[in-house]
Structure 1
């Protein structure tokens, strides 16, 4: 009975990261703090803040968001997933951790519209993302990239607001700066994104080069 109870507890906590995450970049799955490449002071500082934030997230009473910004290919998603793994693997009290690509999340929700029993229905996903102990929303803003006016749709904003309004521990990665976030999203939603980010902001500038670029 105890063994069965422990298995149920793991499915609801430490196994959530592997079971329910939506990771579209297969090369990201092996990301850890140990294999994050540090070539300059900016990356060194980013790694330090990420490790410090992950350590603080080990205590569920610590409630704050972490925001990672900067151009694509700088390592934002790598650090975000590394933070989740650190918490998932070392938290004394098991925590449910989840990594979700925002663009793919909304693709799957929209694909579920014609199937009432689809696991990716709006209701199911909002409940899952709301209730996990620590959540990564990866590449926020990509879901609105196809809109002509570059603003997020009312549908997207309603779901994101419902999730973030109910949360107090979320890690967000985005290619957008503060002005672009404010132009794309409702001020109330931006306010929820920025809850407690003081001291937990990781910003990559032009000093850090795109890690995905290949010389040819």
Structure 2
């Protein structure tokens, strides 16, 4: 390495840098180095520029990974939901259309910074999971500045089965601790079909066991102040019988509800969430 000098042989310094000495910020001149092409550069300026590039590359990687959480870690019971969007949601009546428009409006509010949790309630095959997936996909998109927040969609029964599997299978990555950390960390979360993990959905006197309580207690505690969508076939009264009141209270904080109240009968004819192709 050759240091750069002027025509008189005197060292040439870069005077852009400072250093804390004795608690005070003082000038810290750095001598330029001479390159093979005859030009001169400050080694500290070069290092600072490279650090900025590394930070930028790291941030780009983090943005890509945040956006991929939805596809990498989601637990989806119905594979057709992977194609669900607001545009593929088929409205069979005014209630369907009203609920779709309400969800689209709530998504706009969340993107603008509103704090809320959304419960989609009603009978099976009403389209709750489809709207939840549509919302989470919209929220997972990059904004105008290229930022994407992390999002996750988990079916409650599939989640508990995977965690239980980790108790006997050491190769199962979705342990209880990792699941709680993952569901807590993401910016946006969908808990699909809450209550199904307990089983016997027709028995209103059933209650979640200690294991299920422990998982949802950890998730609901860690997600306070974050956005969560819950789909469920259960009423509010049934939920309070099923789960610890603290869990229900935290999941329903800043609550917005989207209700499918019309009886199914022959309407919609869905054997899977509403999709139009």
The aligned counterpart of 1:138 is 192
CA distance in 1 between counterparts of 2:195 and 2:94 reads 27
Choose the corresponding residue for 2:150, options 96, 101, 105: 96
Which residue, 155, 177, 185 being the options, matches 1:123?
A: 177
Residue of structure 2 in register with 1:71 after alignment: 123
The corresponding residue for 1:6 is 60
Q: Indicate the SS of the match to 2:163.
A: helix
- Counterpart Cα distance in 2 of 1:213 and 1:100: 20
What are the ranges of 5 or more consecutive residues in structure 2 without an aligned counterpart? 1-53, 273-277
Secondary structure of the corresponding residue to residue 206 of structure 1: coil
Query: Are residues 1:25 and 2:78 paired?
Result: yes
Q: Take 1:158 and 1:210, find their aligned partners in 2: how far apart are those partners?
A: 37
Per the alignment, in what secondary structure is the counterpart of residue 191 of structure 2? strand
Within 5 Å, give how 1:49-64 maps onto structure 2: 49-59=102-112, 61-64=113-116
2:132 to 69, 80, 83: 80
**TM-score, structure 2 as length reference:** 0.71
Q: Give the distance between the partners of 2:162 and 2:64, measured in 1 at CA.
A: 25
Query: Which runs of 5 or more residues in structure 1 are unaligned?
Result: none
Off by >2 Å, runs of 4+ in structure 1:
1-5, 90-93, 114-118, 146-150, 206-211
2:227 maps to 1:173 = no
Contact 2:102 2:258 in 1 (8 A): yes
Larger Rg: 2
**Which residue does the alignment assign to 2:14?**
none
Q: Which has the higher helix share?
A: 1
